[in-house]
């Protein structure tokens, strides 16, 4: 069974840092691009970042570029999101998601259960 399990969320002060992890199982992790998507009541679902299967290509939303870094360790089947200079508006549930491409169309076909990040003093 394909599974994604996030961890690392919590309460952090503005300006602080946090690293999220997403442990993958049930599929050949290195063969698939992966993504982080966050959800908050005020912004809804928001794509944050993505990374290719090899890790050689990374993509970011403008709202997090320069503050967040996505990475992966294919030997550990784990995806990461390093979040620095956190702001109140980064407060959200963060989901990792597996990406599948078919006929050049991408979809988030498997999601983790999410981890809550709260940025507050």
Partner 1 sequence: DIQMTQSPSSLSASVGDRVTITCRASQSISYSLNWYQQKPGKAPKLLIHAASNLLSGVPSRFSGSGSGTDFTLTINSLQPEDFATYFCQQSFNTPRTFGQGTKVEIK
**Which residues contact partner 1 (rule: CB under 8 A)?**
35, 44-47, 50, 59, 61-62, 95, 102-103, 105-114
Q: Phi first, then psi: what are they for 64, rounded to 5°? A: -125, -10
Closer to partner 1 by Cβ: residue 23 or 61: 61
Cα–Cα distance between 97 and 110 in angstroms, integer? 6
Rounded to a whole number of angstroms, the minimum distance from the CB of residue 31 to partner 1 is 18
**Residue 3 CB-half CA count within 13 A:** 5
Cα–Cα distance between 27 and 8 in angstroms, integer? 22
Rounded to a whole number of angstroms, the minimum distance from the CB of residue 75 to partner 1 is 26
Closer to partner 1 by Cβ: residue 17 or 81: 81
Rounded to a whole number of angstroms, the minimum distance from the CB of residue 78 to partner 1 is 18
The candidate with the shortest Cα–Cα distance to 96, out of 49, 62, 57, is: 49
Closer to partner 1 by Cβ: residue 27 or 46: 46
């Amino acid at each position: 069974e394909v599974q994604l399990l996030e961890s690392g969320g919590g309460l952090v002060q503005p300006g602080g840092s946090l690293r999220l992890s997403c442990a993958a199982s049930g599929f050949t992790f290195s063969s698939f691009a992966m993504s982080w998507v966050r959800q908050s009541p005020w912004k809804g679902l928001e794509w944050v970042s993505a990374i290719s299967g090899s890790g050689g290509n990374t993509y970011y939303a403008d709202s997090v570029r320069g503050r967040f870094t996505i990475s992966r360790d294919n030997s550990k089947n784990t995806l990461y999101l390093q979040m620095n200079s956190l702001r109140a508006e980064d407060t959200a549930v963060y989901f990792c998601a597996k990406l599948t491409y078919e006929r050049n169309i991408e979809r988030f076909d498997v999601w983790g259960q999410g981890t809550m990040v709260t940025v507050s003093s």
